[in-house]
Amino acid sequence: MNPEKSYRILVVDDNTAIHDDFRKILGTDSASAKLDAEEAVLFGSPVMTAARTRFNLSFASQGAEAFGLVQAAYAAGQRYALVFMDVRMPPGWDGIQTSVKLWKIDPDLQIVICTAYSDKSWEEMMQEVPNSERLLILKKPFDTI
Domains and CATH numbers, the chain: 6-27+53-139 (3.40.50.2300)
The model's pLDDT over 41-60, given as tens digits with 9 standing for 90+, comes to 777 666 555 566 778 999 99
What number of CA atoms fall less than 13 Å from residue 104's CA on the CB side? 8
Q: How far apart are CA 4 and CA 51, in angstroms?
A: 9
Residue 13 and residue 58 in contact, taking contact as beta carbons nearer than 8 Å: no
The model's pLDDT over 97-107, given as tens digits with 9 standing for 90+, comes to 999 999 999 99
pTM: 0.73
